[in-house]
Structures are given as structure tokens and as C-alpha cells.
Amino acid sequence: MASLTLKEISKRFGDIDALSAVDLHVPDGQFCVLLGPSGCGKSTLLQIIAGLERQDQGSVLLDQEDVDHLSPRERDVAMVFQSYALYPHMTVSENLGFGLRMRRFPKGEIRDKVLEAAQLLGIEHLLDRKPGQLSGGQRQRVAMGRALVRRPRLFLLDEPLSNLDAQLRLNVRLELKQLHRQIRTTILYVTHDQVEAMTLGDQVVVLKEGQMRQVGDPESIYNRPADTFVATFVGSPVMNLFKGKCVKEGKRFRFLHPDFSLHMGSLSLDMDGHEVELGIRPEDIECGKEEKADLKAEIAMMSNVGADQYIHARIGKAPVTLRAPKNATFCAGDIVTIPIDTRKLHIFHEGQRIN
């Protein structure tokens, strides 16, 4: 196991900045998730760490030692790809032990390590099969086992579950989290799936266009997004955002929108007269039919997602999404009242969080 430190990592492809001055520290034994949309630089960063790609500037350190001069093999990191990359002519046992054979481990030690990894992943009964005889989930376990079998200093996982169906992805995700608790190795995991990131990560790094937008534990990423990109990328349905002006009234502030106005409470900065964006998550809005409330909205559509219902409504012309209880009996055309808890508001100025 090893800690990972990235210092000012930058990479360009022609006129495109794939990565811009990425600084990151992943402590020994942590499960760190790189989260972002396609093309944000996640996989490029993983390849630089593995030594498969050279950065234009910056340094990669394992246990505070610079490894930029080392080949991929010498760095002792293991990478699991989205495509399982198994050898089709080899059995599961041979696939698991291939890396150890290349490093000339004794046959007895290879056998023991392969069996240990297979038992850890629950695939010991598949050792004599070939990849073509396995399901997608079984192949993914073999791919992870091939990395696990030699216990590298660092695991790099590049969207390893994206080829699995929804239910299997959930099952393997839980198994992967449990596996990490057992082996306590350092893992850097790439995904564009926010649910995977929030479920798996001890630390989540949100990337956009090669830049780190926020780093923190899943709770802080969700509850205190650093900017409007993070606010809308993390969370489903996405956070409601409204553009308007901030006006000071005594010691408090009021938010003025073309379709409504709302008390915002106190702010850390004097934003009187400034353009701001006010955000609130659908699950932080309780709706009803009371007479007294901060806002009123007309329901356009209801969507049922199983345990909850979501209300898609409009405050004037401004769209808003709210969560309603499963037994709610609202329908299109109803007018609902929306009381607002100012403690749950998110306020952004020029895209950045200010409260």
C-alpha cells in the first residue's frame, strides 16, 4: 500500500487542456473517487499515475517518492479497465496468475495467491473456466482479482462497472466496498456515476474540463457544493437554481427573481445589489396546500420513482422540482405552497458558493 500525491499535473493534447495543475493527496488505504463527465480528464490522470502517459508538467509521488522516472512495471500499480482485458485462451486461474508468472514467482506461491484472491472475490469455483464461459459480473471479478493477486502499492480502477447492468452494478459495487474494508489498500476509482462516487468514496474529487472543482468527503460535496457545476452534477434530480438579484433589508437579504421574491437570511458577504444564483435541492422542499407559505407553484407533471414522487412545477415561468411523499395525491394543474427553510438554501455568486 502507498499514499499518492499529485503536484501540479498538467497535460495538453494539441489545443486541448486535458488536465490543468491538478494537486491531490490520497492517504494510504483511502478509497478516492474521481468523478466527472466524459472528457473531463479522469482517465488521462489515471494513465499518468500508472506511467502509461507522460504529463507535460508536475510530479507523481508514491509514499512521497517521485516515480516519474519509473516505468509502469516499476511503479508497482495495478489497473483495472472498463473492458475486462482478459486473455480468452487462458482459464480464470491462468488469467489471475499471469502477472505473477511474468515476475517469475515460484509456482507454489502463485497457486496460493491465486486461490487466496479467488476466495476473497468468491470465484474459486470458476478457476478452470475460460472468460467466454463467464457472465459480465464474473469477468469483472476476474479482472479485479488479477490486479488484487499481487497486492500492488496502488489500485487504479477506470470505470470498471460501466459494462454491467443496473442490478449487477449495485451488487458488485457493494462487494467492492466490502473488499476495500478487508484489504485496506489505496484505491483511485474513476466514474461518471455520482451514485457510485457517493457510495464508494472516502474522498471524492469532482473534475470538469481538466480542473478540480471540489475535493471532499461525499457528505460535504453534496451538502456544500463549491460551485454551480458541482451543485447540479451531484444529486438527482438536480438542484433547483434560480438567477436573480440580492437586496439588503436591514440585517437580512431578500432574493429578487422575475417571478418571485424570497428572504435569504444573513450572508457572510455584503451582496447588496449583486446578481446571484439561489439553489435548493428537491428533497429540501416540503410542499402542501396551506394558505401561508413563502411561494406557490402550479404542478405541470408528477413522476413516480418508486419510494418517492417528484413534482415538476412552475413558480410563474420558473421551473422547480420538488419531492413529494409516496402517498401524495397531487395532480397536474394543482397549486401547491412551498415553505422555504433558509438554512437549506445554497447561494452562488459568479458560479462560486458564498454562504
Tell me what the mean pLDDT of segment 309-337 comes to: 88
Q: Is residue 264 part of a domain?
A: yes
Asked whether residue 353 is assigned to any structural domain, the reply reads no
Q: Which secondary structure element, helix H or strand E, spans residue 216, and what is its range?
A: strand 211-216
Task: For residue range 259-287, list pLDDT tens digits in order.
Answer: 999 888 777 778 888 999 999 999 898 77
**Strand-pair partners of 313:** 299, 320
Residue 352 pLDDT greater than 80, yes or no = yes
**What residues are paired with 322 via a beta bridge?**
311
Q: Are residues 263 and 175 in the same domain?
A: no
Question: Greater confidence, 330 or 305?
Answer: 330
179 and 36 within one domain:
yes
Task: Check residue 130 and give its pLDDT.
Answer: 92
Same domain? 214 vs 86:
yes
Does residue 128 sit in the same domain as residue 219? yes
Cβ partners under 8 Å of residue 34, min gap 6: 42, 45, 46, 188, 189, 190, 191, 205, 207
State the CATH number of the domain containing residue 12.
3.40.50.300
Instruction: Quote the mean pLDDT of the chain.
Output: 89
Residue 105 counted as domain residue: yes
Residue 290 has pLDDT above 70, yes or no: no
Partners of 78 in the beta sheet?
155
**Contacts for 178 with CB less than 8 Å, ≥ 6 apart:** none
Residue 322 is inside which H or E element, if any? strand 318-324
pLDDT of residue 149: 85
Give the separation between CA 160 and CA 165, rounded to whole angstroms: 12
Q: State the pLDDT at residue 85.
A: 79
- d(C-alpha 318, C-alpha 61), whole Å: 49
Q: Are residues 119 and 249 in the same domain?
A: no
Q: Which residues contact 16 (CB under 8 A, 6 or more apart)?
A: none
For 83-92, 202-211, 286-295, which range has the lowest pLDDT when averaged over its residues? 286-295
Residue 315 Cα distances to 93, 228, 290, 296, 322, angstroms = 61, 21, 16, 6, 12
Q: Which residue range(s) make up the domain with 209?
A: 4-233
Whether the per-residue pLDDT at 305 is higher than 80: the answer is no
What percent of the chain stands above pLDDT 70?
98
Q: Has residue 213 got a pLDDT over 90?
A: yes
Strands 203-208, 260-265: parallel, antiparallel or unpaired by DSSP? unpaired
Indicate whether 325 and 191 sit together in one domain: no
**What pLDDT, on the 0 to 100 scale, is given for residue 292?**
65
- pLDDT one-digit tens code per residue, 9-56: 999 999 999 999 999 999 999 999 999 999 999 999 999 999 999 999
Among residues 201, 233, 265, the one where a domain terminates is 233
How far apart are alpha carbons 259 and 129 in whole angstroms? 64
Whether 258 and 163 share a structural domain: no
Do 162 and 272 lie in one domain? The reply is: no
Same domain, 117 and 141: yes
User: In whole angstroms, what is the distance from residue 142 CA to residue 147 CA?
Assistant: 9
Domain membership flag for residue 49: yes
Task: Tell me if 354 is assigned to some domain.
Answer: no
Q: Torsion angle of alpha carbons 109, 110, 112, 114, nearest 10°? A: 160
CATH number at residue 323: 2.40.50.140
Is residue 297 one of the residues assigned to a domain? yes
pLDDT tens per residue, range 134-151: 888 788 888 888 888 878
Last residue of a domain, one of 192, 211, 233: 233
| Average pLDDT for 79-102 | 87
User: Bridge-partner residues for 241, per DSSP?
Assistant: 279
Residue 298 lies in a domain: yes
User: Hey, how many other C-beta atoms are within 10 angstroms of the C-beta on 281?
Assistant: 22
Q: How many domains does the chain have?
A: 2
- Rounded to the nearest angstrom, the gap between the alpha carbon of residue 25 and the centroid of all alpha carbons in its chain is 17
Work out the pLDDT band at 187, boundaries 50, 70, 90. very high
Per-residue pLDDT at 289 exceeds 70: no
pLDDT at residue 303, rounded to an integer:
86
Confidence of residue 93 (pLDDT cuts 50, 70, 90): very high
Same structural domain for residues 36 and 102? yes
3-class DSSP string for 116-157: HHHHHHCCHHHCCCCHHHCCHHHHHHHHHHHHHCCCCCEEEE
Same domain, 229 and 318: no
| Torsion angle of the four alpha carbons 340, 343, 345, 347, in this order, in degrees rounded to the nearest 10 | 140
